[in-house]
Amino acid sequence: MFSRMKGPRLFGKAVECVARVHLPSGAMCQKAAVKHPTPQMPPCDFKPDSYKVMSKERLLEIRKQNCHPMTMKVTYYKQPVFIHQGHMQWLWDVDGKRYLDLFAGVATVSVGHCHPRVNKAAVKQLEHLWHTTAIYIHPQIQEYAEKLVSLLPEPLKVVYLTNSGSEANDLAMLMARLHTGNYDIITLRGSYHGGSPLSMGLTSNAAYKYPVASGSGCHNTMCPDVFRGLWGGNQCRDSPVQAIRECSCSPGHCQANDRYIEQLKEMLATTVPNRIAAFFGEPIQGVGGAVQYPKNYLKETYKIVREKGGICIADEVQTGFGRTGSHFWGFEGHDVIPDMVTMAKGIANGFPMGAVVTTKEIASSFAKGVHFNTFGGNPVACAIASSVLDTIAEDRIQENCAVVGTYLLTELAKLRDKYEIIGDVRGKGLMIGVEMVTDKVSRDPLPPEAMAEIFEETKDMGVLIGKGGVYGQTFRIKPPMCITKEDADFFLAVFDQAVQNYMARR
């Protein structure tokens, strides 16, 4: 079993931390202040512009008075970050402080902030045509659709362009119900599929729910989380790092997977009609905390869902476009082909865009009515998204995710073994979660105030990461996919120091 950490390990930034000092026999133990240097940030040749707009005080005042109240809840930090400019994996605040961005605007900046090649494509298109509706034929939509479907397997060859991931998932729900003639849709607990009235029903996390009717006909089944769930082991998931739970499964057979599939079957037998419309699943849960499933879970789930008359929908909003490293799409790592794929975020490097890709058969069912989207397929959005695909190929972004991501995961696993409060490290490529616990035996989530301490200190040392998980207990690392091994080493030093400092203060 796992033993508790016996005492603080000290290494940290230039703040006062406490360490035990050994005194002569009979003397009382005292504490002395020790200062440690902040890890050195990698160099960057880019020079940001000087900030010359509003004061921070004025920005906050307007945010409080004129922006909706939710903006004050999602500033994340006790001391907010005032971002001014970005370049590749770097961000600068209004005071000129540089940050290594390991959250990418919630896994959205795929190839790097203001990537020169993508900037050039955007400017070129802006000089020719900003907008015209899809009523008229302009080349950007057709060029992009052809390029996108070339990266997807048969029979996924029909594209619907939207403005966001929530909108894409709304559209996918409608298409699934029209095509199957069924209504009920299944998702996993802990999932996040959007915040619109319809997609909110797909989302299974109380923090994103409101006490109003939404997403009728949506149901959640048990998430096959092999770290926090009822069943799990150390051979379950497709990741360079496995969970620390013991496992007695024979090679190629996962007992945890069997138990979670039994839960799905029981849910189908008790909660929904005999015929269903769809199953929505993220290949790796994003907001849920980079949760990974047993290797065959999605493959068996797809088979069961199709037997019930439903179609299978892969939500690739966070896992797509090479982020998992081993494959361009997250579903490919599960050896499945969905009937529909939804995508957004990294599709256009942060420009508002989303898409649904499906089969000709499903698309023909949807064509019985009229669906129109004013901004879907906007020429500028398509030009940017097309440039993103070119950049992913030319900069070997997917390979970078595999190499740097695997390195980062394996090094984080060493920190997991070092600290009692790091319960799990998981993910693939640059889709990483670090789950924090009070101790490895109970696996109880680290309290929010403790998470906030580590989170804030990591930011103060120059690294921006995210948080997620049902209980807010998981640090999310989903950077622009251009980060380097040197960047990874800097983050590892910062995170190690932040955790050590927290342990020293306990």
CATH code at 296?
3.40.640.10
**d(Cα 415, Cα 432) in Å, to the nearest integer?**
14
Residue 482: closest CA among 391, 408, 406: 391
Who's near 216: CB < 8 A, 6+ residues apart? 201
Asked if the structure places residue 239 within a domain, the reply is yes
pLDDT value, residue 72: 62
Instruction: Write out the residue range of the structural domain in which residue 300 sits.
Output: 182-320+328-350+359-376+388-393
**Does the residue 168 lie in any domain?**
no
Query: Do 311 and 452 lie in a common domain?
Result: no
At residue 433, what is the residue type? G
Answer yes or no: is 240 within a domain: yes
For the stretch 64-73, contacts whose Cβ atoms lie closer than 8 Å and that sit 24 or more positions apart, written own/partner, are none
- Are both 236 and 344 inside the same structural domain? yes
Number of domains in the chain: 2
CATH number, domain containing residue 429? 3.90.1150.10
Query: Are residues 371 and 223 part of one domain?
Result: yes
> CA-based angle 195:196:200, to the nearest 5?
60
Q: 175 in a domain, yes or no?
A: no
Query: Is residue 138 one of the residues assigned to a domain?
Result: no
| Res 32: pLDDT | 41
Using alpha carbons, select from 308, 309, 317 the residue that is nearest to residue 348: 317
DSSP 73: H
- Per-position pLDDT tens, the chain of length 506: 223 333 333 223 333 232 333 333 333 333 344 457 889 999 999 999 999 999 989 998 898 889 877 766 666 788 899 999 999 999 999 999 999 999 999 999 999 999 999 999 999 999 999 999 888 899 999 999 999 999 999 999 999 999 999 999 999 999 999 999 999 999 999 999 999 989 999 999 998 888 888 889 999 999 999 999 999 999 999 999 999 999 888 888 899 999 999 999 999 999 999 999 999 999 999 999 999 999 999 999 999 999 999 999 999 999 999 999 999 999 999 999 999 999 999 999 999 999 999 999 999 999 888 888 899 999 999 999 999 999 999 999 999 999 999 999 999 999 999 999 999 999 999 999 999 999 999 999 999 999 999 999 999 999 999 999 999 999 999 999 999 999 999 999 999 999 999 999 98
Q: What is the 3-state secondary structure (H, E, C) of 421-438?
A: CEEEEEEECCEEEEEEEC
| 296 and 370 both lie in a single domain | yes
Q: Are residues 370 and 439 in the same domain?
A: no
Whether residue 117 is contained in a domain is answered as: no
Closest CA to 216 of 204, 234, 237, 202: 202
pTM given for the model: 0.91
CB atoms within 10 A of CB 300: 17
pLDDT at 252: 80
How far apart CA 167 and CA 180 sit, in angstroms, is 20
- Residues 194, 90 share a domain: no
**Dist. CA 71–CA 50, nearest whole Å:** 25
Q: What is the DSSP letter of 444?
A: P
Question: Do residue 366 and residue 447 come from a single domain?
Answer: no
Clarify whether residues 426 and 334 are in a common domain: no
